[in-house]
Amino acid sequence: TQNPPLTREGEERAERIKLFLEKSFPEVHAVYSTEYKRTESTALPTAKAYNLDVVSYDPRAPKVFVKKLIKEHAGEVVLIVGHSNTTPFLVNMVLGEDKFQQLDESDYDEIFIVKSKEVGKGKVEVKSSAVKKD
């Protein structure tokens, strides 16, 4: 199917992402996702935990999205749930350099923590959601 639901493993991963963010950040200001069941379902536990809605973004218009992010959320914590071929590209756009390549389609565990207040300037740290719950 073109738009399958999240697998059980994916649901567990979404919960780990939520727990990671709750431990790491006292506040998340916005949650964005593409309009696919899997990405929306991955974003939903975090959105609920922070009493936020999941806001859809168009991965085919990355420049518009990155400008919106910086304008509306500079210095804030924002969760963006995307895809193996779009997320590294968004990170590169924010950083202003081609630092990250497209992820393997089977790699669902990468978390890019990007700190930026303007396009072209920022720092990134890469984490994995594959860590145990503790």
For range 51-79, the mean pLDDT: 93
d(CA 90, CA 86): 6
Poorest-pLDDT segment among 10-19, 21-30, 62-71, 119-128: 119-128
- Angle, alpha carbons 98-42-66 (nearest 5°): 35
**Residue 47, in any domain of the structure:** yes
Strand partners, 78: 30
Domain range enclosing 15: 8-128
Q: How many domains does the chain have?
A: 1
pLDDT the model gives residue 1:
60
Provide the whole-model pTM: 0.86
Those residues whose C-beta lies under 8 Å from the C-beta of residue 119, and which sit 6 or more positions away, are 66, 67, 70, 93, 94, 96
For range 92-109, the mean pLDDT: 78
Q: State the average pLDDT for the chain.
A: 87
**Residue 134, in any domain of the structure:** no
For range 18-31, the mean pLDDT: 94
pLDDT the model gives residue 116:
87
pLDDT the model gives residue 104:
65
The CATH number assigned to the domain holding 110 equals 3.40.50.1240
**Residue 133, in any domain of the structure:** no
